[in-house]
Amino acid sequence: MAVTQCVLFDLDGTLIESHALYATCAQAALTAEFGSSPPFKDLVSKTRPISERMFLIDWLGEEVGARVHGRLCDVYEACAADLLGGLYAGVAELLQGLRASGVPMGIVSGKSRRAFAATRESMKELDLFDVVILEDDVSAPKPDPEGLLLALSAFGMPATNAVYVGDTHADVDAAKRAGMVGAFALWSHSDEERQQITESLAPNVWRLHAPTELAARLLP
């Protein structure tokens, strides 16, 4: 059976360009906490963190990480309208096509509820999604499949009829653990990264160089 009955998406790096915004927020939050900013930009570019608060707590410890996350969210709310890069090229058309075809769509993201609310204020396209599962809703970040399973439960949909689209190995690993098809969104990566990622993926992972490639798989 074609996997067209439910599509779940990661958010940052998959649907929206938010690297500049997060770099600004992290630098401001870390400078406020420590007096200067550690090389967060380089760390983020290499690791593509799959959560906000949990990532900072793992890095800085419970108390400091939670405090830095609060500062980060303060800056995010203040700067989102100006610094969000918007949807990647072709994403709006993909979402509209899925909606028009009646395909249920959800978001499963490591983004915090505060940051998502600020993002939604600036990007009304996010109102197209029927289910949104965020970092606040789970006990562990991806590749733990908890968030994906929560979304599937909300839809009343079996994993075998669903696909999860993300931009990290943790995303496709989470899809595999949930029993879903994993799809790797390569469009936010450099050409060099795309080649390395493509070679590292299991054969059954969908390799997507553009949103149109997902549309071609899912839409009539």
pLDDT tens-place string over residues 53-63 = 999 999 899 99
Domain holding 121: CATH number?
A: 3.40.50.1000
Domain of residue 173: give its range: 6-17+87-218
User: Do 136 and 150 belong together in one domain?
Assistant: yes
* Distance (Å, whole) CA 164 – CA 99: 16
Please, where are the H alpha helices in 91-190? Answer: 91-100, 113-122, 146-155, 169-178
Residue 57 lies in a domain: yes
User: Do 79 and 128 belong together in one domain?
Assistant: no
User: Do 95 and 67 belong together in one domain?
Assistant: no
- Say yes or no to pLDDT of 34 above 70: yes
* Distance (Å, whole) CA 37 – CA 27: 5
pLDDT tens-place string over residues 171-220 = 999 999 999 999 999 999 999 999 999 999 999 999 999 999 999 999 87
Residue 1 lies in a domain: no
- In this prediction, residue 219 carries a pLDDT of 86
Residue that is last in its domain, among 66, 83, 100? 83
User: Do 73 and 158 belong together in one domain?
Assistant: no
Residue that is last in its domain, among 44, 64, 83? 83
- Say yes or no to pLDDT of 43 above 70: no
Q: Catalytic one among 10, 167, 171, 173? A: 10
Residue that is last in its domain, among 60, 83, 106? 83
Q: Catalytic one among 12, 167, 171, 173? A: 12
Residue 40 lies in a domain: yes
DSSP structure class, residue 105 = E
**Predicted confidence band of residue 4 (pLDDT cuts 50, 70, 90):** low
User: Do 61 and 164 belong together in one domain?
Assistant: no
- For CA atoms 41, 147, 144, 112, the dihedral sign is positive
130 catalytic per annotation: no
User: Do 49 and 133 belong together in one domain?
Assistant: no
pLDDT tens-place string over residues 74-84 = 999 999 999 99
| Side chain identity at residue 77, one-letter code | E
User: Do 128 and 157 belong together in one domain?
Assistant: yes
12 catalytic per annotation: yes
